[in-house]
Chain A
Amino acid sequence: MADTAVRTRGRARPPASARKSGGRRAGRLSRNAVHHPWWFALPAVAVFTAFFLVPNLLNFYYPFTDWSSYHPDIAFTGLDTFRTVADDGSLLRAIRTTLLYAVLAALFQNGFGLVLALLLEADSRFNRFFRAVFFLPVLISALATGYVFQALLDQDGAVNGVLGTDIPWLGSTTWTLVLVTVIHGWKWMGLSMLIYLAGLKGIPGELLEAAKCDGAGPWRTFRSVRWPMLAPAVTFNVTTALIGSMNTFDIVQATTGGGPAASTEVFNIYMFRIFGQGLYAQASAMSLVLFLVVVAVAVPLVVGLRRREQLL
């Protein structure tokens, strides 16, 4: 009711006096507080705090307890849990596997994405169609992607059938991890492609023309004009790919389930397995280590890439 009254009054008045009343209000509260009140942001902040930040804070406590499905109570036990995971070798192995996975996955995803973006840069109907085609893998769930490649790469699978070979693609303790990161890159290359395309679109045409007038070939133009101008897209793509793939689960679970011989057991696979066994404190400890590893990678990465943007 009051709202209607104010609005009617506002509309009836000439604009000049409306502005004056706005100005007077701004004197009491800050202008911002009137025009963009906090309560628009509060629900989001509240939900985010309750269901994202608080669990991450709790994660700094529960790894130091003996929380599991075998105890009715949760008792503080200090570093015992960490000692257990460190002694059985899973801690260091998970860190190594996850980091290696993230670096390779980011490399493949960005490499594929950049090549596709450069191939499909011009805005023709042909290119628009194939952009959608290469985006299809993004739309298929990672779990489904994993099963598709399991069927392709199984020893009884389609690839060996076509090649007439008998290679256990998913059975090597060294190469399977690399193969799974290629699959990860395949699944997400469409998204990287779109972001690189957006970056390429943002390059002013005059710059490219100037390069052409100066006699620069396509390679020279790419190195000296396109690539530096792509810096923000590179920052975004590399960061999201690297950090996102440290959180990987579905593709690995569906192709190898962490095997062979735990050679692809990344953090989330370990957590999934251990949680299923009821060892909650151990799973939580791994979750905390993942958190710390991500922070340790993300902060220098973002700072470094941002600085690189300024330099280029």
Chain B
Amino acid sequence: MPSAARAVWRLGRPALVLLLAALAVGVPLWLVAVTSAKPQAEAVRPNLDLPRRWQPAGNYEDALGQGEMLRGFLNSLLVVVPSVVLVLVLGAGAAWVFARRESRLVSAAYALCISGLLLPPAVITVVMELRQLGLAGTRPGMIAVYTGMYLSTSIFFMTGFIRAVPPELEEAARMDGAKPLRIFLRIVLPLLRPVIATATIMVTLYAWSDVFYAFFVLGGGERSTLPLNLYKVAGAQLYLNNWHLVFAYVVVMSLPMVAIFLVAQRSIVSGITSGAVK
């Protein structure tokens, strides 16, 4: 590369990155932040101006009250946490068997279990089935649907990861007399840490944001999760024009995900490297 071009690139690249980040991510986030601090009269026509009168506390309080945010938060936690735990634990067990054993039956079971990566969940008949099982509109029903849906993701990532781990580590423990359960808990699970981080992020993200399946399974009412509440708040938007509340809600709903990402960020990339791109 000629040195002039290299110099342009060295200065131009960071400038381009800054510009892209400001336009593509900065502007939308700015809109959310300023609108969530405006009084209703200013927020009716959403724009990028700073609020003339700041009332963030009032807006967030209203979102808490009218949007039933605390209950939504609790409801979300009560379905998302068990789903994620089940997806990880059941997924890891299955991935271990799928990665280490070789037979027609095993590869058939593996293919079946990761088919959920491609196939769309049959949401209408899931509702039918849950009704027959007495699980429609309940948290266990929602957890079962999320677990069934996202198991494929975790099994796929974890199987890829375990295949890359040398089996000698397990052999050594086996020689010391460890049984499968012990090997799984003491050797396999700790090794899986980076890919567990990836799967946790992905599944938490999907389940935390989901409104489609929650709508069919939980409906509205007592057990509605944060996204369902947001949908309701924004639905009322049509005649109330309360962008300020919608965006206060958006901020609060997004913060837990940002926090989880910041904590687990480092291991995500390594998990993706070994899981998806092998």
> Which A residues are within 8 Å of any B CB, using their own CB?
3, 6-7, 9-11, 13, 15, 18-19, 22, 32, 34-38, 40-41, 43-45, 47-48, 50-56, 58-59, 62, 67, 116, 119-120, 126-127, 130, 132-144, 147-149, 151-152, 154, 156-158, 161-162, 186, 194-195, 197-199, 201-202, 217-218, 232-233, 236, 239-240, 243, 246-247, 249-250, 253-254, 268, 271-272, 275, 280, 283-284, 287-288, 290-291, 294-295, 298, 302
Contact = CB atoms under 8 A, between A and B. Distances in A.
B209 A250 contact: yes
A170 to B, nearest CB: 13
Contacts of B13: 119
A246 B176 CA distance: 50
Contact of B97 (A36, A136, A271): A36
21 contacts: A7-B179, A10-B176, A32-B100, A37-B180, A40-B94, A40-B96, A45-B94, A45-B112, A52-B152, A58-B128, A119-B13, A126-B14, A132-B265, A140-B250, A141-B227, A149-B28, A194-B272, A236-B276, A253-B211, A268-B212, A287-B124
Contact of B122 (A3, A55, A119, A254): A55
B257 A140 contact: yes
B128 A62 contact: yes
B97 A133 contact: no
A139 B125 contact: no
Contacts of B262: 132
B46 A59 contact: no
B177 A11 contact: yes
A36 B99 CA distance: 10
Contacts of B94: 40-41, 43-45
Given A35-B170, A120-B17, A194-B272, A147 B250 contact: yes
B48 A158 contact: yes
Contact of A52 (B1, B149, B234): B149
Interface residues of B, number: 96
What 6 A-B pairs are tightest by C-beta distance, nearest first?
A: A10-B177, A51-B148, A141-B209, A44-B94, A151-B46, A40-B93
A275 B219 CA distance: 12
Given A202-B273, A250-B211, A48 B177 contact: no
B243 interface: yes
Contacts of A199: 277
A246 B120 CA distance: 9
Contacts of A56: 119, 121-122, 125
Given A58-B129, A195-B272, A291 B28 contact: no
A239 B265 CA distance: 24
A192 to B, nearest CB: 11
Given A51-B144, A139-B257, A236-B277, A250 B212 contact: yes
A62 B28 contact: no
Interface of B: 1, 13-14, 16-17, 20-21, 24-25, 27-29, 31-32, 35, 44-48, 86, 90-91, 93-94, 96-98, 100-103, 109, 112-113, 116-126, 128-129, 144-145, 147-149, 151-152, 155, 170, 174-180, 182-184, 205, 208-209, 211-212, 215-216, 227, 230-231, 234, 243, 246-247, 250, 253-254, 257-258, 261-262, 265, 268-269, 272-273, 276-278
Contacts of A142: 209
B122 A291 contact: yes
A240 B209 CA distance: 18
Given A52-B149, A143-B227, A250-B212, A152 B46 contact: yes
B46 A157 contact: yes
A57 B178 CA distance: 41
B122 to A, nearest CB: 4
Contacts of A140: 250, 254, 257
Contact of B117 (A232, A240, A268): A240
A261 B272 CA distance: 41
A304 B179 CA distance: 43
Contacts of A236: 276-277
Looking at B47, B122, B209, B276, the one whose CB has the most chain A CB atoms below 10 A away is B122
A272 B170 contact: no
B124 A271 contact: yes
A208 B200 CA distance: 34
